[in-house]
Structure formats: structure tokens, C-alpha cells
Amino acid sequence: MSTKGKVKGIISNLVTVEVDGPVAQNEIAYIELGSQKLMAEVLKVIGDKAFVQVFESTRGLKVGNNVEFMGHMLEVTLGPGLLSRNYDGLQNDLDKLTGVFLQRGEYNYPLDTEKLWDFKPIAKAGDKVEAGLWLGEVDENHQPHKIMVPFKLEGTFTVKSIVPEGEHKILDVIAVLLDSEGKEIEVTMVQKWPVKKAITVHTEKPRPFKLLETGVRTIDTANPIVEGGTGFIPGPFGTGKTVLQHAISKQAEADIVIIAACGERANEVVEIFVEFPELEDPHTGRKLMERTIIIANTSNMPVASREASVYTAMTISEYYRAMGLRVLMMADSTSRWAQALREMSNRMEELPGQDAFPMDLSAIIATFYSRAGYVYLKNGQTGSITFIGTVSPAGGNLKEPVTEGTKKAARCFYALEQARADRKRYPAVNPIDSYSKYIEYPEFEEYISKRISPDWTSKVNDMKTILQRGKEVQEQINILGDDGVPVDYHVTFWKSEVIDFVILQQDAFDKVDSVTPIERQEYMLNMVMDICRTDFEFNNFVDVMDYFKRIINVCKQMNYSVFHSDDFEKYVGELNVILEERKI
């Protein structure tokens, strides 16, 4: 018998329910409202009163309405067929909802139960298995989708039987396991998992070290993120957060991309819906949508399911990581999620922390970020979740609780800057304030020396030094005037401008420039650093500016040309001629 209850009080979407039996924290309940049932989650229990947050509008709800508790927490359904789908925060398939408007209380099954999948067994009868180990696989959009021993099973099991290769529906029994007492457990291709609990079917979580190529130079070259790494992008509105995030999700060298559009503009999600089925994955040539799952909970959709949406996305990411895949998860924006927490905490009359956010905000953020990572699976394979979240700081002020809480948790920081955006220097990532902690990892250093070259990190550090020096010189020039400083100062400043224009700035809307493979980034960095190390002869500062503007122009043309094409080589030639003019 499940626990039942009756509505006792309503404040917006916080509903008090008097219950007749046991309830668990975070348990899911359905509240009857006419013919509809509204999904809700338990947030607090006092005596026989459970406080639940309803994931929908509570308009028309009355005292005395019936409530039924489900005996489980908010769960997602995991199985083949998740890829290419557009879900809401509660994993309802948006494409299956028929009307133009989202109707309250409309829920559906997130997977296709009729589709036949070509199942290939991996395990065989007699094998000893445990949670997360692979029993078989199906082909999902050209990727091996592993059918695993359900994560909920504890202990060791023996495979009693497994179906031979053949076509099966997701709910067909594909294997029977025996537990230590000889009890039979039937396994299908589908399993459920509560979103707030991390899936930990791995043996070890080492420090991540493998470069995750994004094709964005200001990330890969200057502040690289790694497979299984975490990063965040704070920035005031209009600085290009979403464009940068879209660029990363389009280009990154990941097997699976999961995008949680959390409390942001609906038209931005529409852009993904329109573009991703058309655009090609630069690494495989297949359509981007084939490797993508979108969790859309836009700003006008129910606030309470914003929180659910990021957890849903993370749980699906963990599911794919357990198959040994490289998952990239993006959440835009985690500030909206934090605001949803704030609204609820306020309604529950909790004592507020800074800016009225809940006291445990930074702990919640840290726990969430810690679910990302690079792991060794039980069968020795590896998998990863790289997580990048955006933050929308109120008033562009980075000293607010969400930014500060995230800064403690994420290892890469890509600070979008208003001043850079105003000057149309995109991506507007401030090269000096931003950082990647991974650059300091010896594991990363070792990896990158082999992947690119042994002196790569020192070159990158030299580049940053020049940028820093350029900034200092620029400030002096601003105070003392163009002719108030030695000509050398102008040279230093313009060398830093070459780095800015050629390496850091990148045209996200140009077919060639938008994606730069790491080999090409190496070539460009070497070329630019050679220019920076060269001494030039100048008599006055006007010549410096004109000369370096010509260099920048030629280098930019190279960025717009296909690598090593005739055009590209032509510009290399032009550049060398220009450099010869004033080289000492």
C-alpha cells in the first residue's frame, strides 16, 4: 500500500500535504486536480505534514485534494533510444506532446517501446557480473550502446542465460541473472535511476589529463579543458555565453553531447533544434543531432523542474559514461537553477544566506560538479563526463554567490568580459583573468608533451606573459600618451595584439575559422610566438601600428583559409615578406 495524503495548504507551488503513512525525503507524489495529476517532490516533513514542491502551476488546486506517494525519488528511464531526443526537465519527450502549448499534468514515456534493436551479447552464461558491467550492446546512431547490469543491483551475480544475437524491444528480457542465493533476476534493456544520486559503477576516478579538443583556440591553446574536466563560463548578458557554449557543443571531440537548457530563452533552444539535425559532427561527419540529447526547460517552463533538468541531464551523462564513452554535458545556465532553489527556500521560510540564496548553495553546486570526471570502469575501460556550465551573474558582478560557489567547484574558468564584447573581440573570454587548473597537472603536462610537443606548456605560458605585459604597457600608454613612452613599448603592446587577434579571437560564424584542430593551433601558436620573439626596427610609434596591423591582417586571412591550402600558403609567403622588411 502506498502512502496517501490530502492537500492542507498551498503557497504558489509549495503544497502542504497531510499524509497517512511513511514518506521519504525527495519522494515523488502525484496530486489529483480534476482529471489531471500534478507531479511533486517532497522537500520537508514535519510530523504528518509533508511539504512538496509541485513541478507545475497549482492554479485551481484546493484543500482536500487527494495525493498519492510513489515510494521512489525522481527517476530517469535509461535505455537505448535516448539519443537525438528533446526532453523536458522531467524527461518527458517533447516531440510526443501533441499540442502547441504544454498542458499541465501531461507526462509520457521517454523511450520507444516498440522499436526493434539489434542486440549483440557480450557476456555469456556462467559469467560473474556486477552492477554496471556490460551484458550486451545495441547500435544506437552508430555508437555502441551497452546494455548493463542494472546499477541498483548490489553484489555479484551469475549470468544464467542471455539471449543470442537478434532483434529485441527495450522491454524484452535479454538476460537472466542469479544472485548468491540462487534467485532469478530478469534484465531488460531499460533501467531506472534516481537523478539526485550519482551513478558510481566505476572502480577509480583519477585526475583527468587528456585534452578535450573543442576547436576553440582561446580554450584549447590558452586554457585547455580535459576529458572529465569541469569548467564554467560566467558573463553578463550580451557577452556571448550561449554562442560560446553552442560552439563547444558543436565541435568538441565527444561521443555524446548532452545539453541542459535550464531557464534560458526558448528561441535559443529552437536554434539548436533547427541547426543540429543539419550540421555535421566535425570528427565523424555524421549529423550532430545523432550524438546529442537536449533537456529543455526554458525560462517560461515550470521553475521547479529547472533543478530537475540539470540532474536529469547529469544522470543520463553518467549512464553513457558507464558505457565507456566520452560525454560532454553543458548546462545553460546554472544561475537559473540556483534562482529556482532560492524561490523554494524562500517559500519554505528558511533563513537566507547571501542575496537570499539558500545557505547550502555552494555545497549543492560543489556536489553537482563532482559528478563529472574521468573514470576507470570495472572492466578496465575508461569513460568521462566533461561538464561546462554557464553562470549569469546579476549585474555582471562576479562577486555574487553563484559565481563564487562555482569558482570553488570548477577547475576551468572562462571569464566573459563586457569590455571585450563591446569591442567585438569574440569570444569575449578575458585571457588574463581566465584559467585552467589542468595546465598545472603533471599528468596533463606528460600527456600534452606527447600529443603536441614537449615545449607546448612553456610556449603557452610565454604567450600569457606577453599578453600580461601588453596589458600593462597599454595602461602606461593610456596615461602617458603615444609619444610619452619609448617606441619599444608600442612594439610590446602590438605583439600582444597579434596574439589577441590571431590566436584568441575567432569567428564562430565562419566555416573555417570556427573550428581549429589542435595541429593547426600548434602551427599558429608557433608562428605567432616566432613573431613575438623577433626584434624589429622602428623609428616612431605610427610605423609600429601600421606594420603590425598588416601582420594581423595577413594572419587573419590565414585563419579564414583552409589549412595548408594554396590561399593559406600564399598568405604565409606574404607574411614572411612583411617580416623581412623590419627584422633585425
Query: Does residue 420 bind other proteins (CB under 8 A)?
Result: no
Which CB atom, from 357 or from 374, has the smaller least distance to other proteins?
Answer: 357
Is the CA virtual torsion 304, 305, 306, 307 positive or negative?
positive
d(CA 416, CA 247): 15
Query: Does residue 100 bind other proteins (CB under 8 A)?
Result: yes
Strands 256-262, 292-297: pairing kind: parallel
Residues 12-31 vs other proteins: string with x where CB under 8 A? x---x---------------
d(CA 232, CA 215): 17
Query: Does residue 112 bind other proteins (CB under 8 A)?
Result: no
Shortest distance (Å) from residue 50 CB to other proteins: 15
Shortest distance (Å) from residue 6 CB to other proteins: 11
Residue of the chain from 394, 419, 432, 562 that contacts other proteins (CB under 8 A): 394
d(CA 338, CA 355): 11
Which CB atom, from 300 or from 379, has the smaller least distance to other proteins?
Answer: 300
Query: Does residue 492 bind other proteins (CB under 8 A)?
Result: no
Query: Does residue 62 bind other proteins (CB under 8 A)?
Result: yes
In the chain, what is the straight-line distance between the N-terminal and C-terminal CA atoms, in Å?
Answer: 88
Selected range binding other proteins among 37-45, 111-119, 231-239, 568-576, rule: CB under 8 A: 231-239
Q: Which residues contact 52 (CB under 8 A, 6 or more apart)?
A: 14, 15, 16, 17, 29, 31, 40, 41, 42, 43, 67
Residue of 433, 401, 394 lying closest to 416 (CA atoms): 433
Query: Does residue 99 bind other proteins (CB under 8 A)?
Result: yes
Shortest distance (Å) from residue 62 CB to other proteins: 5
Q: Which residue has the cell 514518506?
A: 23
Which CB atom, from 22 or from 352, has the smaller least distance to other proteins?
Answer: 352
Selected range binding other proteins among 62-70, 146-154, 437-445, 518-526, rule: CB under 8 A: 62-70
Which CB atom, from 129 or from 313, has the smaller least distance to other proteins?
Answer: 313
Report which DSSP code applies to 107: -
Residue of 101, 52, 48 lying closest to 74 (CA atoms): 52
Which CB atom, from 228 or from 236, has the smaller least distance to other proteins?
Answer: 236
Please report the DSSP string for 355-385 in residue order. GG-BTTHHHHHHHHHTT-EEEEETTS-EEEE
Query: Does residue 265 bind other proteins (CB under 8 A)?
Result: yes
Query: Does residue 556 bind other proteins (CB under 8 A)?
Result: no
Shortest distance (Å) from residue 153 CB to other proteins: 35
Query: Does residue 570 bind other proteins (CB under 8 A)?
Result: no
Residue 279, CA atoms < 13 Å, CB-side half-sphere: 20
Shortest distance (Å) from residue 405 CB to other proteins: 15
Is there a contact between 77 and 192 (Cβ–Cβ < 8 Å)? yes
Selected range binding other proteins among 334-342, 403-411, 529-537, 571-579, rule: CB under 8 A: 334-342
d(CA 584, CA 572): 20
Shortest distance (Å) from residue 400 CB to other proteins: 8
Query: Does residue 557 bind other proteins (CB under 8 A)?
Result: no
Residue of the chain from 182, 285, 380, 395 that contacts other proteins (CB under 8 A): 395
d(CA 419, CA 242): 17
Which CB atom, from 57 or from 77, has the smaller least distance to other proteins?
Answer: 57
SS3 55: coil
487-498 and 456-480 are packed helices; what angle lies between their axes, rounded to 10 degrees?
A: 130
Shortest distance (Å) from residue 268 CB to other proteins: 9
Query: Does residue 269 bind other proteins (CB under 8 A)?
Result: yes
d(CA 570, CA 566): 6
Residue of the chain from 145, 250, 291, 342 that contacts other proteins (CB under 8 A): 342
Is there a contact between 20 and 3 (Cβ–Cβ < 8 Å)? yes
The CA distances from residue 55 to 303, 304, 336, in Å, are 7, 5, 15
Query: Does residue 296 bind other proteins (CB under 8 A)?
Result: yes
Selected range binding other proteins among 51-59, 154-162, 205-213, 359-367, rule: CB under 8 A: 51-59
Q: What residue type is assigned to position 252 of the chain? A: A
Residue of the chain from 45, 70, 73, 104 that contacts other proteins (CB under 8 A): 104
Shortest distance (Å) from residue 319 CB to other proteins: 23
The residues of the shown chain that bind other proteins, judged by CB under 8 A, are 8-12, 16, 57-64, 86, 94-95, 97, 99-104, 236-238, 263, 265-267, 269-271, 273-274, 296, 298-301, 303, 336, 339-340, 342-343, 346, 352, 355-357, 392, 394-397, 422, 481, 509
